Amino acid sequence: MQAKIRVGVVGGTGYTGVELLRLLSQHSFVDLVVITSGAEAGIPVGEFFPSLGERVPLRFSPRDSVELGTCDLVFFATPNGVAMRAVPELLAGGCRVIDLAADFRLTDSAVWAQWYGEPHACPELLAEAVYGLPEINRERISSARLVANPGCYPTAVALALLPLVESGVMALDSLIADCKSGYSGAGRQASIGLLAGEISESFKAYAVSGHRHQPEIEQTLRSVSGAATLQMTFVPHLVPMVRGIHATCYGRLIAPAELQTLYEQRYQSEVFVDVLPAGAYPETRHVRGANQCRLAVHQLSDDRVVVLSVIDNLVKGAAGQALQNMNLMFGLPETEGLQQVALVP
């Protein structure tokens, strides 16, 4: 019989945190040992999140809880900059770590400092950290001590473009990713810009001059293409829905290809990526609550292609993908705990 994995969660009170707890509480091989929170220490998890009720019979612990050191695996569902200060000690003690923030996603510490505004606290671990997109790094994830869970936009965009970039049929100097996200992607903190009266019945772009997910997307696409340079225009938008990301990606073909076949063959063994029939239009509501990416590829002319990609930003874009990575790290079926059907309506 498979022994249960002793799991700790650092930062369990945000939207990503509660989604992670929801999924972990349904996982057959997980023993939730400790869930930390700086502000809510001592409060029962089921009181703070009634949706979890008796499924998570723990109280939030302080962030420096010694119980973290007894875990087989610790998830960090914390703001950027938190995990990098605690991970070295956990790794030294024999824990494995999955960071759902951005602390270990970029391989260059100077690039990390440029985009996140401070020096990296443990740059020596950046080369070891494995980027946790299973569709490209499955084997490396399975033996990793430290996994950097991808961002939500990078997951949607990378899965949309991987077949084109890997096969070399698309120009890499003129990529466009036009992305829309529900407001849960901005986190649970109080903010005037995220009040219902500010975002309802409205739709806006943001971070047009540069978003932190852009270097992550470019790094991933460069790694699978082998190219030294790549140019992408990435524009995120906030739309008045709670969950979901829709990425519309544009590119220029430089070689002929049967695109529908290319996508179907690339993802034929990927249980969490659905390639829709030619001419289809994926919708965010069709992946709500599920660890699924749905794709459709449209060829507009001999040299123009549009790829549509949808995910739930809190599941395949965060907590669900983290569980997918955990399953790989502990030799479990990749689908364990992740077989939920999307919520309709």
226 and 175, same structural domain? yes
Asked if residue 88 and residue 195 are part of one domain, the reply reads no
Give CA–CA dist 237/314, Å, rounded. Answer: 17
Three-state DSSP state, 21: helix
Assess whether 269 and 165 both reside in one domain. Answer: yes
Q: Position 203: which residue type?
A: F
What domain range is 29 assigned to?
5-128
Domain of residue 64, CATH code: 3.40.50.720
Dihedral sign of CA atoms 239, 240, 245, 247 in order? negative
Same domain, 300 and 250: yes
Give the pLDDT confidence score for residue 318 in this predicted structure: 98
CB 179 within 8 A of CB 134: no
Q: Are 100 and 18 contacting, i.e. CB atoms less than 8 angstroms apart?
A: no
Read off the amino acid at residue 97: V
Residues 293 and 165 in one domain: yes
Residues 299 and 214 in one domain: yes
Q: Do the Cβ atoms of 317 and 152 come closer than 8 Å?
A: yes
DSSP letter, residue 341: P
- Any domain includes 342: no
Number of domains in the chain: 2
Task: Give domain status of residue 183, yes or no.
Answer: yes
CB proximity list for 118: less than 8 A, separation 6 or greater: 81
> Can you give the pLDDT at residue 188?
62
What's the pLDDT at 17? Answer: 94
> Does a structural domain hold residue 249?
yes
* Per-residue confidence in pLDDT tens, the chain, 345 aa: 678 999 999 998 999 999 999 999 999 999 999 999 988 888 999 999 999 988 999 999 998 889 999 999 999 999 999 999 999 999 999 999 999 999 999 999 999 999 999 999 999 999 999 999 999 999 999 999 999 999 999 999 999 999 999 999 999 999 999 999 998 776 666 666 666 677 778 889 999 999 999 999 999 999 999 888 899 999 999 999 999 999 999 999 999 999 999 999 999 999 999 999 999 999 999 999 999 999 999 999 889 999 999 999 999 999 999 999 999 999 999 999 999 999 988
**Considering the domain boundaries, does residue 322 fall inside one?**
no
In a domain, 331, yes or no: no
pLDDT of residue 1: 60
Q: Which pLDDT score, from 0 to 100, does residue 189 have?
A: 67
Phi and psi torsions of 75, nearest 5°: -95, 140
* 202 assigned to some structural domain: yes
Tokens of 238: 């906030």
Contact 46, 21 (CB under 8 A): no
Residue 122 annotated to the active site? no
- Provide the 3-class DSSP secondary structure of residue 121: coil
What's the CA gap between 285 and 191, in Å, rounded? Answer: 26
* DSSP letter string, 161-225: HHHHHHHT-B-SSSEEEEEEE-GGGG-SS--GGGSHHHHTT--EE--TT--THHHHHHHHHHHHH
Residues 80 and 38 occupy one common structural domain: yes
Element (H, E) at 137: helix 134-142
Closest CA to 21 of 1, 3, 2, 44: 44
Q: Give the whole-angstrom CA distance, residue 68 versus residue 78.
A: 15
Indicate whether 160 and 118 sit together in one domain.
Answer: no
| CATH number of the domain bearing residue 183 | 3.30.360.10
Catalytic-labelled residue, pool 71, 95, 122, 152 = 152
Residue among 260, 257, 266 nearest 162 (CA): 266
Q: How far apart are CA 58 and CA 68, in angstroms?
A: 14
Contact present, 283 and 290 (Cβ < 8 Å)? no
Using the structure block, give the residue that is written with the tokens 């949808």: 310
State the Cα–Cα distance between residues 64 and 41, nearest whole angstrom. Answer: 11
Would you state the pLDDT for residue 41?
87
Shared domain for 70 and 195, answered yes or no, is: no
Does any domain span residue 246? yes
Question: Nearest to residue 81, comparing CAs of 57, 107, 101, 52?
Answer: 101
**Predicted TM-score of the model (pTM):** 0.95
